Structure 1
Amino acid sequence: MMKKIFLSLLLVIGTTLATTAELEDILQLDGAISDISISGEKAYVATERGKVQIIDLKTHKIINEISYPKFEDFMGELQLPKVFSVDVSPDQKLIAAAVQATRGGREVYIYHDGKLTKIIDRKKHFPIAKLRFVDNQHLIFGLTGDEIILFDLKNNKVIYRNPVGMSFFSDMEINESKTKIALTDESGDTRIIDIKSGKVVKVIEELNKDKAFDVDFKNNRTFTGGRDKKAVYYNLNTNQYQIFDADDFMVFSVGLSPSGKRGAYVYNDKFNVKVVNTEEGTTITYLKGHKSTPSNIRFLSEEKLIIGCDDGKIFFWRLKQ
């Protein structure tokens, strides 16, 4: 009996340690990283010091950057704005960003052919926390009051503005087909929303027991991290889930691989990131060496991922068998 237990332990340890991680590179950006959008071979990185910096994922170099207008603080002094969110249109011609503005406002800019155009002024009072392209002509906004807006770029108008929850918005992510978003908030619940109708079609309840900070949505699977020190994986195809614990630290950021079968989340106060097999509930490896909180985790493939941190550093990781 003891021999069987020992062999089983060896099998689990072997599975856990079979994959290692190689740190390929570290790139320093100009400010804390607030959002990352991946399109083709480029990463579009929003910072808290008024820029979107564009990175070539092959060379790990900054190849372009967009600077946004300063805003007046409560003392009337000009400050660099936080860029809350960034995304790229499917045809890669437009770059949209939600940006901090005067008097607590938020504005949305479109960058096209080297020109910056404001499409949402602060006086519209849209408290936009996150944005994503639905197609080349439409954006979806997540508002701090747990509302979503579908916006028509061509006609410069709101198609709908719908409440989807009763808490304070945390995060949202769009699926690959651009038909649904997963949205999470201070309740800890995750709502799946049909973009065409703006209606909630499913609620994943009571798995995160407190505020959820971050959500990813890949291959009809969601992954969330919360104040309850847990990361929660949910398979919408099967309604099966896995709960992963952190080491006495709130899970501020999460990421899913394209298949959804691998996940990564902030694990402890040493800023380590734990990579897991989401379906089996097992540990794959740990990513160590970050010096501040990892705020954004993005898988580029099943084996490669980038992690953006609050100190402005981006880490390029590769998982190796």
Structure 2
Amino acid sequence: MSSIQIINRLLLLLAFVTGLNAIEPTFIYKGSGGVTDLVYKNSKLYSATAEGKVDIYDTSSQKLIQTIEVPKIKDFIGDKVASKIYSVDIVDNKIMIVSQGRMGYRRVHIFQDDKLNEIISTNQSYTISKAKFINKDNLLIALLSNELILYNIPNSKAIYREQISASKFSNFALNEKKDRVVVADESGDLKIVAVKNGKIIKELKGQNVDNVFQVDYKQGLVITAGQDRRCAIYSTDGKIAYYKNGSFLIYSAGLSPSGYIGAFASDENNNITLFDTRSRSQLYKLGHHKATISVILFINENELFTANDSNEINYWKLK
């Protein structure tokens, strides 16, 4: 390494330590509870919470405009409690909500025209960890057992149910076309799966050695959040594979739409580091999080939302 490269790296480290690249949130949204999932569409932000509610914000006015609440469930002593929401998604005017049901199973509701309809009940014994729309008629569902289900809503039927691996499921992320999905599990290896049939196309491995909590997938690039304190970057063509170290378990990670900016929860103080995925250099440090980071959601190259296990969602403008 040349002396110039060493000096540049020292300057980057100094900027990080002294907070020269630290910025303040532009706005902080307050919600119903700890945030478990976020979706942004048409200037509206949909926030799923552990308190059984989906908060909907108009980001133009920065106001809460609606809250959807799923039916409460009974706990082990028979008391009614909030049903934790695990996933939210939207297509057209349909809002899909995955929530806790009885006996550890999960259920799925569709909210449309101010009506909440259950489309998958706990009678189907699905331990759903995550679900997202593929289109208005089909959902991609991941079970804790690391099975993927392509579920047809009009016919109330699974098109396929495929076992991805023997390891416990952690997270998945769809590509832009929604024809491929990257699946993460406790093994640390990633699987690229064809959505149409649930078959594994390729594996990405070597950068994480333990459970991967989260993944994101943009423009052929994949980012991970690892229990091994590693934030890995892979290109699906196999040309790029490296990781950046955190100082604590990395619970959340995300990519900008271009894939040029990566973000990960980098320390025990719930700070988020943003970096250039090409040069690997640090760009910004985002603080002001009261609890463990749960979601990092870019809406473009200059704006993002970050959420945590508290009821706050931070909105950031980078420049």
1:154 deviation in Å?
A: 1.5
Is the CA contact (8 Å cut-off) linking 1:19 and 1:319 kept in structure 2? Answer: no
CA RMSD of aligned residues (A): 1.9
Aligned to 1:23, the other structure's residue is in SS state coil
State how far apart, in whole Å, the 1-side matches of 2:143 and 2:218 are: 22
2:259 aligns with 260
1:225 aligns with 225
1:128-277 aligned at under 5 Å gives the runs: 128-247=128-247, 249-277=248-276
2:277 aligns with 278
State how far apart, in whole Å, the 1-side matches of 2:266 and 2:113 are: 41
One-letter code aligned to 1:130: K
Aligned to 2:103, the other structure's residue is in SS state helix
2:295 aligns with 296
1:128 deviation in Å?
A: 0.6
State how far apart, in whole Å, the 1-side matches of 2:205 and 2:8 are: 36
Instruction: Tell me the matched-pair count.
Output: 315
Is the CA contact (8 Å cut-off) linking 1:138 and 1:151 kept in structure 2? Answer: yes
Is the CA contact (8 Å cut-off) linking 1:242 and 1:281 kept in structure 2? Answer: no
Is the CA contact (8 Å cut-off) linking 1:20 and 1:319 kept in structure 2? Answer: no
1:19 deviation in Å?
A: 6.0
> Is 1:81–2:83 an aligned residue pair?
yes
Is the CA contact (8 Å cut-off) linking 1:216 and 1:256 kept in structure 2? Answer: yes
One-letter code aligned to 1:306: F
Is the CA contact (8 Å cut-off) linking 1:22 and 1:319 kept in structure 2? Answer: no
Is the CA contact (8 Å cut-off) linking 2:146 and 2:185 kept in structure 1? Answer: yes
Aligned to 1:165, the other structure's residue is in SS state coil
Q: Per-residue CA shift, 1:63-104, capped at 9, x if unaligned? A: 111100000111111100100111111x2x111111101222
Q: Per-residue CA shift, 1:268-316, capped at 9, x if unaligned? A: 0111000011122111111112121111000111111100110111001
Q: Per-residue CA shift, 1:133-165, capped at 9, x if unaligned? A: 101111000100000000111111110011011
1:239 deviation in Å?
A: 2.7
State how far apart, in whole Å, the 2-side matches of 1:79 and 1:176 are: 37
Q: Per-residue CA shift, 1:99-134, capped at 9, x if unaligned? A: 101222210000111000001010100111101110
2:100 aligns with 100
> Is 1:112–2:112 an aligned residue pair?
yes
1:24-35 aligned at under 5 Å gives the runs: 24-35=26-37
One-letter code aligned to 1:148: L
State how far apart, in whole Å, the 2-side matches of 1:291 and 1:125 are: 35
Aligned to 1:123, the other structure's residue is in SS state helix
One-letter code aligned to 1:44: Y
Judged with a 3 Å threshold, the aligned counterparts in structure 2 of structure 1 residues 183 and 16 are, in CA distance, closer, same or farther, namely farther
1:206 deviation in Å?
A: 2.7
State how far apart, in whole Å, the 1-side matches of 2:219 and 2:73 are: 39
1:241 deviation in Å?
A: 1.7
Judged with a 3 Å threshold, the aligned counterparts in structure 2 of structure 1 residues 11 and 244 are, in CA distance, closer, same or farther, namely closer
Q: Per-residue CA shift, 1:197-250, capped at 9, x if unaligned? A: 111101111311000000111111111111100100111135312201001x10
Under a length normalisation based on structure 2, what TM-score does the superposition of the two structures give?
0.94
2:311 aligns with 312
1:123 aligns with 123
Judged with a 3 Å threshold, the aligned counterparts in structure 2 of structure 1 residues 204 and 106 are, in CA distance, closer, same or farther, namely same
1:178 deviation in Å?
A: 1.0
2:70 aligns with 68
1:22 deviation in Å?
A: 4.1
Under a length normalisation based on structure 1, what TM-score does the superposition of the two structures give?
0.93
Is the CA contact (8 Å cut-off) linking 1:144 and 1:168 kept in structure 2? Answer: yes
State how far apart, in whole Å, the 1-side matches of 2:270 and 2:22 are: 18
Aligned to 1:192, the other structure's residue is in SS state strand
Judged with a 3 Å threshold, the aligned counterparts in structure 2 of structure 1 residues 221 and 122 are, in CA distance, closer, same or farther, namely same
Q: Per-residue CA shift, 1:237-270, capped at 9, x if unaligned? A: 35312201001x1000001000111110001011
State how far apart, in whole Å, the 2-side matches of 1:16 and 1:156 are: 57
